[in-house]
Structure 1
Amino acid sequence: MAKRPNRSQSENRMAAEAREAAKRTQELAAAGLRRRRILISSSVAAAIVLILGGVALAIALKPKDVVTTDAGPANMASWGIAFTGGDGEISAVPTGATAATASPTSTQWTGEDADKKHVQLYLDWACPACKAFEGDNAKLLTDAVASGEITLELFPLAVVDRAYTTDYATRGANAAACVADIAPDSFLDVQERMFAAQPAEGTAGLSNDDMIRIIGEAGVTDPKLSACITDGTYRGWVAAATNRVALDESLRTTIQGRTAFYTPTLATDGKPWDREGTVEDYLAR
């Protein structure tokens, strides 16, 4: 295990805040606050308890220190990978890559896509709350894309590195960027498999070889992918993308009285879901 640097006062303060949040959540649970259906709000609340006593969630709510970036992957000019569809089919929207230090550009929907509801989802492949959301809502979202009702844009982030003994969240988001760059139409299948294989917190997470194998099972076997994952080609871009989102006040929502950026966050045209009702209700508004 790599030796970790000493925590700063800021990190110690975030850890203390997270422990307090976990305590509040446990008290609510003890009082009998239960929901059978896992909605995005309860998924995040669960993350407070499950992610190393809340430490990783605290990091998720704070911007990363890194603000510079390497060049981004192709098909993620908005720093998200976009999907459109119709007649039961889904396809990724091809775009160029952003140059080093360049800002993302919003996806410009044209033609029939212009009149659809544009849905964005911010998530972390290493985040248990994101896995719960995926299990409950992925089919609903992809069916809506395939039927032509919505477009969907996925933003892979790295917010829970401290929940693992390696920087697994960053490595996972780098792998997501590699897939978007090399095999964008396989991204949704890969994401499903990566969530299914999500390791327990407190472990090292999936190794690079594990991720290459799992992605290969989705049919992505290009040697460039292996090199991209092993070399951490988009690590700098991942840090910048995560920092950008954490600093975006428009994406902050309030859970249990605390306003911050959480993963997962679902939004329409850049406005986050208020977490009232189900995702199905939200899409029908």
Structure 2
Amino acid sequence: MKVSAVLQENWKNEVTSFSFEYFVPKDAQATQLLYDRIRHMSELHPLFIDVTWNAGGAARKTPITTTELITKASKSYNLETCMHLTCTGMTEEAIDQALLEAYNGGCRCILALRGDPIEGHDWESSPGGFAYAKDLIKHIRKKYGDYFEIGVAGYPEGNGEQTDNELLIDHLKEKLDAGGSFVITQMFYDVDNFLKWVDRCREKGVTAPIVPGIMPITTYASFVRRVKWCDINVPADFMHEMELVKDDPAAVRQVGAEFMSSMCKTIMEKGHIYHMHFYTMNGEKSSRTIIERLGMLRN
């Protein structure tokens, strides 16, 4: 399956679909819980799942690696998988090993990223590694041809290091020209800004499918923390609603689900984009609630 081909077909026929992102757990108990959750969420029939990159010890000790989690999802739960792969802390040799493990694990899709800097340091490439996502993409194409489909990241509100959106769109186009075939965006809550950004991407020659990254709201504290960390805009009326209920966890989830569902509907109706990518944070309920509200579940 080529993700971009399905997204294009869904766009033509106005068919909705969704995907889930997970991260590598910190301990064995969390790993087993995640396996159970992925198995259970596979019954919702996501188009694919993706797993964030962690080398299983390069940044922090984990009981499994990204490639092991990808292999389990592919072979045990029969899910289409997409593996994140970053340039951060990775030599060319390490990247080749990760690609080989993904290949052997049944993965056919890579989300190619430069990656965040190592905590406490400015970003720099590893000796013998790559400095930009576009260079990683070119390397994957050189080694594996068209075997892997390659997704790239899009930043409707800047990426922390660069706030010039025009330049970021130019960089996005370079990644796609290097071999990327679809775009997954950072999280956002300003749907009007997102739709304007999509229009500007199209004006500058970006023809690949653009997938909005949807971050469900589970708690007020995590919502505020992520907004500050990603430095993204929140519409004033929604922020006011959240502040009114911030001490009531159930109300926070309710208000959050209503807002996110409305945002997704606007994306579909005004942006004619019918696939949503959920940043699950290894949870299920919040993403499922939005999917149910949108009427996207199928038997």
Fold match, TM over 0.5? no
TM-score normalised by L of structure 1: 0.30
TM-score normalised by L of structure 2: 0.29
